[in-house]
Structure 1
Amino acid sequence: MPTAARTRRPVPQGLPLRLALAAALLAGCAPTAAAPESTRGTGRLVVAYEPARTAGERAARSFLQERRVLEDAAAYADARIALPRDVPLRAAGCAAPNPYWDEKTGRITYCYGFVPEARKVFAGLDTGGTPAERAAAVDEDVVGLSNGVLFHELGHALVDLYDLPVTGREEDAVDQLAVLLLASGDERHTDYAISTVNAWGALWKASEGGDPGVAAYSDVHSLDGQRFFDWACWLYGSDPRRFADAVDAEGNPDGVLPRDRAALCPAEYRRIASSWHTLLGPYLKQR
């Protein structure tokens, strides 16, 4: 099953996406002036680290702090979207590894257990180069996927904090916001989107050949394979020229997007960008 790949990662079948700047943040059909500070709120994401209880949690905490994963994600989001109040973004030990937004406590939690789980996903993808190069590639991808899931959880927070209307499944809507935030940034953040695409591709591959079961079909999230194709579609749609290698076309057998879906992706991206721009218009900061 093909994956999205950076040029540094030699994957026999892949999506060799070229990195470049994408569109302006959440740009709709036309630029819109930011709302006055008084109507936008002055809250921000406030990063904190809870004590690590095990050796694995201590290793994850050190990794997050050394790479400034939470701090950089918070600064990136805070420069673009205003919050009505400060929102804690904490790293902590959790019963399950997945990061989450808790409406009751009003905070986003990044679970220490997510780091080793993400490492497992990318260990099977980053197989080229020396051991040191492979380890560095895995670290980079863990940071990238972490940004993808943090902006996904930020989307949940924004829906609740601003009581934003959502038609369709909220999980899909906040996936779209995460793609928009990453695809509208610099090369590093576009790279983070590719890491997230790779992760969904790997999880889909791991589940191939079997019935995912009632729990997966009834879950609020789309299936891993659907999220893989959605993320790949939206990233391609953000700049079809730059991400042309994503399409399964004649002369490009490593492309992953079927041509029929790819033809719809630019309009799909414009629609979700315009929709989120409309929803967040009063809360966007001037750039």
Structure 2
Amino acid sequence: MPAAARLRRRLALAPAAALLAGCAATPAAPSPTTGTATGAGRLVVAYEAARTPEDRTARAFLRAHRVLEDAAAYADARIALPRDVPLRAASCEAPNPYWDEAAGRITYCYGLVPEARRLFARAGTDGTGGTPARRPAAAVDEDVVGLSNGILFHELGHALVDLYDLPVTGREEDAVDQLAVLLLASGDERHAGYAISTIDAWGALWKAAEGGDPGVAAYSDVHSLDGQRFFNWACWLYGSDPGRFADAVDAEGNPDGVLPRDRAALCPAEFRRIESSWRTLLAPHLKQP
């Protein structure tokens, strides 16, 4: 498998047509409702006290980069919520952000920051396929912010399914992965980059597990395998604009492409179906028609 980070170098990033076309720029604050969206709720950001020194470092990183604030503003400008939904950062037993239906809130776990930083630091290469080289701290930080956005929008998808009782046929985890890609692909170059950071993360996790059996826990998990998520996210981003993201495809003259041609041929139609489905589900709740 070509290094997942090559996808970032090869893709020509530019705004892609996707969910909520016309919302390509990220506003500084949520824009007023201009469509017929129901609900006046918004994501309300809070940072809880950190329990450990590592969590305190993560808390400072998230606040300095306005990770939760920017994600909340980006989502609030596009989708109406039936009520305010807390989006909190907190110390957790495991480093996995989650939507808590009973509490009605999204939690970003501080532990994700150091885990993601270690993952992205290991994922770098010297660009020749040789000995791995340590990546610049600024590049790692950018990827941590990107992955955080990908995961936050994934959790927002779970929240929307529950808050609006949206029908989901198939695996909900795959469906909300699709929504996360749609939200990122419909943004500016920075948000398309966030999608690539998330793709890089799934690719790095898959690469780390290559040659070994993932085990019963992975096969029976509600999430798709890391390798599947890597190819799904890459497919959907490519499918959102095949012209701009053509270098994602493993084609003649482009050996660094990550998508097999047989899958790539299906991605534009796959993306259109995903976009149409989510548009239909969210139609009453979109802030722009």
| TM-score, normalised via structure 1 length | 0.91
Q: Which residue of 1 aligns with 2:27?
A: none
Secondary structure of the residue aligned to 1:124 is helix
Distance 1:204 1:265 in 2: 21
Distance 1:106 1:15 in 2: 39
Distance 2:69 2:8 in 1: 31
Distance 1:82 1:132 in 2: 42
Given that residues 166 and 173 in structure 1 are in contact (C-alpha distance below 8 angstroms), is that contact kept between their aligned partners in structure 2? yes
Q: Which residue of 2 aligns with 1:41?
A: 39
Q: What's the CA shift for 1:126?
A: 3.5
- 1:2 maps to 2:9: no
Percent same amino acid among aligned pairs? 81
Deviations 1:230-252 (A, max 9, x none): 00000000010111111111111
Specify which of 95, 100, 103 is matched with residue 105 of structure 1.
Answer: 103
Given that residues 183 and 190 in structure 1 are in contact (C-alpha distance below 8 angstroms), is that contact kept between their aligned partners in structure 2? yes
Amino acid at match of 1:245: D
Deviations 1:167-206 (A, max 9, x none): 0000000000000000010000000000000000000001
Change (3 A) 1:249 1:127: closer
- 1:23 maps to 2:23: no
Specify which of 68, 71, 94 is matched with residue 96 of structure 1.
Answer: 94
Given that residues 35 and 281 in structure 1 are in contact (C-alpha distance below 8 angstroms), is that contact kept between their aligned partners in structure 2? no
Change (3 A) 1:104 1:56: same
Secondary structure of the residue aligned to 1:90 is strand
Distance 2:179 2:19 in 1: 10
Amino acid at match of 2:224: S
- 1:272 maps to 2:270: no
Moved more, 13-22 or 70-79: 13-22
Q: Structure 2: give runs of 5+ residues left out of the alignment.
A: 22-32, 128-132
Task: Kindly report which structure 2 residues correspond to 1:140-219, keeping only aligned pairs within 5 A, or say none.
Answer: 140-219=142-221
Secondary structure of the residue aligned to 2:89 is strand
Q: What's the CA shift for 1:3?
A: 3.6
Distance 2:157 2:183 in 1: 10
Given that residues 25 and 181 in structure 1 are in contact (C-alpha distance below 8 angstroms), is that contact kept between their aligned partners in structure 2? yes
Q: What's the CA shift for 1:54?
A: 1.1
Q: Which residue of 1 aligns with 2:115?
A: 117
Q: Which residue of 1 aligns with 2:56?
A: 58
Change (3 A) 1:15 1:247: farther
Distance 2:20 2:8 in 1: 28
Deviations 1:125-147 (A, max 9, x none): 24559x99710000000000000
Secondary structure of the residue aligned to 2:228 is helix
Deviations 1:238-272 (A, max 9, x none): 01011111111111111111101000000000000
Given that residues 19 and 187 in structure 1 are in contact (C-alpha distance below 8 angstroms), is that contact kept between their aligned partners in structure 2? yes
Given that residues 18 and 182 in structure 2 are in contact (C-alpha distance below 8 angstroms), is that contact kept between their aligned partners in structure 1? no
Q: Structure 1: give runs of 5+ residues left out of the alignment.
A: 6-10, 28-32
User: How many pairs were matched up?
Assistant: 273
Given that residues 126 and 138 in structure 1 are in contact (C-alpha distance below 8 angstroms), is that contact kept between their aligned partners in structure 2? no
Amino acid at match of 1:255: G
Specify which of 81, 84, 91 is matched with residue 83 of structure 1.
Answer: 81
Distance 1:252 1:168 in 2: 34
Q: What's the CA shift for 1:286?
A: 2.1
Change (3 A) 1:273 1:158: same
Given that residues 8 and 196 in structure 2 are in contact (C-alpha distance below 8 angstroms), is that contact kept between their aligned partners in structure 1? no
CA root-mean-square deviation: 2.0
Secondary structure of the residue aligned to 2:232 is helix
